[in-house]
A and B are shown apart, each in its own frame.
Chain A
Amino acid sequence: MEERDPAGVVLRAERVSKRYGSVLALDAVSLGVGRAECVALIGESGSGKTTLLRCFNRLVDPDDGRVLVDGADAAGLDPIALRRRIGYVPQDGGLLPHWRVGRNVELVPWLRRMPEGDRLAERALALVGLEPAVFSDRWPRELSGGQRQRVAVARALAASPDLILLDEPFGALDAITRADLQVAFDGIRRELKISAVLVTHDLNEAFLLADRIVVMRQGRVEQEASPAGLREAPATEYVRQLLLRARVLAA
């Protein structure tokens, strides 16, 4: 695979469009994610942020435009193999309820037939702050919501991906647990130099975790900027209102 993208861009969307019936979910959206960078996609329901995220691991295939992963057109890649090298954290954790924690975390190493999957799983659990000896043998239903979400993050990290996709990963947690997890995740990501795309409707989370924020609205990019850039120069009234509501700007 030839690296055509400059400056270590690992993920790129080029004029990606997706239509569901009469609804244009994505309207020629372009976006790049650099190495070790965290990009937050923020917007209301129906803004297209989750659809864009799902284009990156081919859970959704665009009608138009293309997605490049490490410089290669995703349309030409085997979707199963692609997903196995990209970490993924869904909102509700999505743990397999009939598998113990250890087996859940080992899922991707197992799918990729990596050696010593159990050790990888233990390392990933330790990384998210769960003692493997204590948690490996537990059932998902025996965990608190925060622990479950930590396990989901561990599962996304276990096969040491360069890139992970997060779909409102902390949205369903209480404020204190959420803050703990956000800090923990940010530390891990920076330490391991993982690129991440984070879908969220919480602007504060975006400010906390992202290097770059993409505000989406009705299938288009409303503004793309660093947190500081966004705060200092909201490009539209919509973005300004968003910042006001999140109390990032003083009224």
Chain B
Amino acid sequence: MSSLAGLRGGLALLVGLSTIAGAQTPSVRPIVVASKPFGESFLLAEMFAQLLEARHFTVDRRLGLGATEIAFRALRTNAIDVYPEYTGTGLLAILGQRPSPDPRQVFRQVAREFRDRYGVRWLPPLGFQNTYAIAVRRETARKLSLATLSDLARVSSTLRAGLTPDFIGRADGLPGLGKAYGVRFGSVRALLPAVKYQALAAGEVDVIDGYSTDGFIVRYDLVVLEDDQHFFPPYEAAAVVSPALQRESPAAVAALAELSGLLTETDMRRLNRRIEVDGIPIPRVAAAALLSVGLTRAGPAGSRPAAGDSGGGVFPYLWSQRSTILSLTLRHLLLVGVSLAGAIAVALPLGLALERSRRAAESVIRGVGLLQTLPSIALLAFMIPLLGIGVVPALVALFLYSLYPILRNTYTGVRDAAPEAVGAAWALGMTPGQVLRYVRLPLAAPVIMAGIRTAAVINVGTATLAAFIGAGGLGDPIAAGLALSDTRMILSGALPAALLALLVDALLGASERWVTPGR
């Protein structure tokens, strides 16, 4: 499937290039529809694609492109033809201009600037805004009589906030909120979207930032506090169209514009809920939505994305962030060290015990190995109801991921240690305990050490995911960088993490030589 899609994509690119080169020939190439990597963007793009198909255009889907910077760069260079964007994002993230609170004015501004600077066209807005939404549990709102952000400011010092890392950092996020309303939370925790709603619902935090169309707001019966001073800029959703498509297929642009003004915020919250909460496949939700607004009835399936990169002065940035990076690295080391020590303390004795009861060994080890196949996000999300958020569940997850390599190597190493030496030790009168302690264990030491080394390196990498659950470490800048498509920020976490992995591996490698017997 994916190779077919890749082939189709490659063909599309070839056709596209030849079309551009051959100038004004009528468009026979597929229209490349893209999205950014989150649910609503996927949904809108899928609606664009199905609408175009219903109007007899051929479509090539490239859903889930890196993020704003990558998607927009692709659009500007005609690598893609259309994707859904938000006016506030266009203004702030792409143009770097200060927003006005008036949605009409913002739209006019981005439409003009994008046309003039990039030849990119904003189609009239789809009809809804997806702006920041500060949400609390209904019970919190009732108890503290919260309806607006001004209300929130009164009691904010008693509340615990769980905010996405980019919201904490960007000017139109927490710092601006502080200035506009005087909001000062009692504590602030970095949480990624994947877990923040559950954290709020579980009572681990009291306030989160969401998006006004998030399906989880309905799912968890949350109260969105009104932005009574119009602090958040307008984020009207609209299709943005590449220069090439405007030139080659005005009919396609007209087809896309049919969707303008047809989607309300309530519609989107409901649609997003169907995707995020009910788990209904995006193509089906898109088809139903198009049907309900009276544009079509159709529904094929989508395919997968590609990614790009951004540039900039990495090393000056890293240098400027050195104290942050250092403290993140120390936190990272703490997570790795404690979880690895725990895994050694459990897996090593367990491996030795299993060597003595081999019948149980394979099934136990396979069971532990299954842990390895759990996606880490799923594991982290699963643990929130049990362990809450923060360092503890992160340590537990890392501990679980470290068990398998140590257990497997301990068991195999001890079992397969020089059988003739073990046989002789046995025949000359060693007790089982002596055989283990004086023969099997020392001979297995290099293999066990290799297992610990594997676990440590995996652990350093996996610990970057601790950011998803508010445990800090080098994953914080990686996650925030991914959300903001800021390569330098990603590297400020990824580079130290990579160096740490190499360092840990080298140190353990040295100790591996040290424990190797007869050297």
Residues of A that sit less than 8 Å from B by CB:
57, 59, 80-84, 88, 90, 92-99, 107-108, 111-112, 139-141, 152, 155-156, 165
Contacts and interface: CB of A to CB of B under 8 A. Distances in A.
Nearest to A96: B421
Nearest to B425: A96
Contacts of A93: 420, 424
Given A98-B443, A98-B518, A90 B427 contact: yes
Interface string B399-427: 00000000000000000001011011111
Contact of A141 (B429, B431, B518): B518
A88 B427 contact: yes
Contact of B424 (A88, A98, A112): A88
B425 A84 contact: no
Given A97-B517, A98-B518, A141-B518, A90 B420 contact: yes
B430 interface: yes
Contacts of A88: 424, 427-428
Q: Determine the main DSSP class of B at the interface with A.
A: helix
B429 A108 contact: yes
A94 B421 contact: yes
A139 B423 CA distance: 19
Interface in B435-450: 438-439, 442-443
24 contacts: A57-B427, A80-B429, A80-B431, A81-B429, A83-B427, A83-B428, A88-B424, A90-B423, A93-B420, A94-B421, A94-B424, A94-B425, A95-B424, A96-B418, A96-B424, A98-B442, A98-B443, A98-B517, A98-B518, A99-B518, A107-B428, A111-B429, A111-B430, A140-B518
Given A80-B429, A97-B517, 19 more contacts: A59-B427, A80-B431, A82-B429, A83-B428, A88-B428, A90-B427, A93-B420, A94-B421, A95-B421, A96-B418, A96-B425, A96-B438, A98-B442, A107-B425, A108-B428, A111-B430, A112-B429, A139-B518, A152-B424
A143 B430 CA distance: 24
A97 B443 contact: yes
A83 B428 CA distance: 5
Contacts of B442: 98
Contacts of A92: 420
A83 B518 contact: no
Nearest to B418: A97
Given A92-B420, A98-B518, A139-B518, A155 B428 contact: yes
A97 B425 CA distance: 11
B145 to A, nearest CB: 73
B418 A83 contact: no
Contacts of B431: 80
Given A80-B429, A81-B429, A97 B424 contact: no
Contacts of B418: 96-97
B519 to A, nearest CB: 9
A99 B443 CA distance: 10
| 9 closest A-B pairs by CB | A94-B424, A98-B517, A84-B429, A83-B429, A88-B427, A98-B518, A92-B420, A94-B420, A96-B421
Interface centre among A92, A94, A152, by most chain B C-beta atoms within 10 angstroms, is A94
Contacts of A107: 425, 428
Contacts of B517: 97-98
